[in-house]
Amino acid sequence: MVGKETKVLMFSLGLNHYQQMYQRCINSHRHYAKTQGYDYQLFNSNRQASITASAWVKIPLILAALNQGYDRVFYIDADCEIKVDTPAIESLIVPGKLLYMSQGFSGHINSGVMIVHNDERVKALFERILASCNQDVPSSDWGENGHMIHFAEHWAHLQLLDSRWNNNAQPALPDYIRHFSAGGPMRPLYQPNWSERSFRLMQSVRNRFNFRKYLARQHTAVAIQNLLLQLRPAILCAVKFSEQTSHHSWLTAEKNRKLHHVKYISSKTNNNSSSLARVAINLQIPSDGGVGNHQTVCF
C-alpha cells in the first residue's frame, strides 16, 4: 500500500470504444488501483479519435499529472490485463531511475506500460518528446512509441523492467501484465465476451470507413490539441499551439457531461517555431467516482 506521503496516479485511455472492447482489462486496472491505494482515471471521448492522436495524448497527460504534484504516474494501455498477484509498483523503484518500461515484441521499449517518477529531468524528457511530435525520428515504430524509443531507450535514467510487467510477446510467460497489443502475437489470444465482441464489430466497421485514422506527421500537434479538448471526464484545457505561420492561439474548453464550450481567449504573433509550446490541463481525479476538485496544471 502507498503511504499518505506518496501520491500515485494510474490512468488509461478508453478511446474509440477500447473501454468497451477490453472491459476485463479495464476492470483489472480498477481493481489493482483500489488494492494498492492509487488514484485511478480512465479518460475517454464521445467522439471518434484518430489513432495518431489516441497514441500521443498520453504524453501531455503524464506531464500534467506530474505537474499537478503526483509523486508517480502509472500509465497503462486499455488492452493490458493486470493479474491479481501483481506487486505494487513501489517494489520496482531503483535509486536514480525515473522512467520504468519493458521491451515489447519489437525488441524495443514499449510505451503501453510506463511508470514515471516525478523529477524535473523526466519532465524535460517528456517535454522534448512532445515538442518533437511533428518531426520524424529514425525509428521504424509508429505513433509516439517511435519517439519514446528515439529519446528514451538509451536514457541514463531509464530502468528496463522484465517482460512480466508488459508482456505482449510470450503467451507462455507467467506475467503480471498481459498486453494484447495490436500487431503482436497476444492480440488474437484475447477472449472477448459478447458485449466486447459487439463493440469490436462496430469499431471495425468505423475503421474501415475512417480514412483519417493515421495522420501525416505534420498534423500530429493539432490532433493532440483537438483530442485534449474532447476528453472526458471534464477537464479544463488550454493549448498554446504554434503553426508554421508563427501564429499562436489560446483555447480553453471547460466541459462536463452536458456542456462543451470552446472559447478563444486571445491570439498573438510570436516567432517561436515550437509545434506545441504549452498545455494547461485541469485533471479531475475523483477517487470515489464522483466530482473531483479542479486544479489547473501547466507545462
User: In angstroms, how far apart are the furthest CA atoms of the chain?
Assistant: 57
Residue finishing a domain among 142, 176, 208 = 208
Quote the cell numbers at residue 119.
523529477
Instruction: For residue 136, report the phi and psi dihedrals to the nearest 5 degrees.
Output: -75, 145
- Residue 281 within any structural domain of the chain: yes
Q: Does residue 193 sit in the same domain as residue 222?
A: no
pTM of the model: 0.78
> Are both 89 and 189 inside the same structural domain?
yes
Segments forming the whole domain that contains residue 270: 217-298
In a shared domain, residues 227 and 290: yes
Q: Are residues 126 and 59 in the same domain?
A: yes
Domain annotation covers residue 3: no
How large is the average pLDDT for residues 275-280?
42
- Considering the domain architecture, whether residues 183 and 234 belong to the same structural domain is answered as no
pLDDT band at 214 (very low <50, low <70, confident <90, very high): low
**What tens digit of pLDDT does each residue of 121-130 get?**
999 999 999 9
Binned at pLDDT 50, 70 and 90, residue 213 comes out as low
| Same domain, yes or no: 192 and 233 | no
CA atoms within 13 A on the CB side of 260: 11
Contact yes or no for 255/277 (Cβ under 8 A)? no
Taking only the tens place, the pLDDT of each residue in 109-168 is: 999 999 999 999 999 999 999 999 998 888 666 789 999 999 999 999 999 999 999 999
> Which residues are CB-contacts of 294 (< 8 A; sequence separation ≥ 6)?
236, 282, 284
Domain membership of residue 222 (yes or no) is yes
**pLDDT tens figures, 69-100:** 999 999 999 999 999 999 999 999 999 999 99
Q: Are residues 263 and 175 in the same domain?
A: no
Mean pLDDT score across all residues of the chain:
77
Residues 85 and 202 grouped into a single domain? yes
My answer on whether 44 and 188 are in the same domain is: yes
CATH number at residue 29: 3.90.550.10
Distance, in Å, from the CA atom of 199 to the CA atom of 117, rounded to the nearest integer, reads 35
And the C-alpha cell for 208?
A: 474501415
Both 79 and 149 in a single domain?
yes
Q: Which helix (H) or strand (E) holds 208?
A: helix 194-208
Does the pLDDT value for residue 226 go beyond 80?
yes
**33 and 181 together in one domain:** yes
Task: Examine the pLDDT at 228 and tell me if it is beyond 50.
Answer: yes
Q: Are residues 204 and 243 in the same domain?
A: no
pLDDT above 90 for 217: no
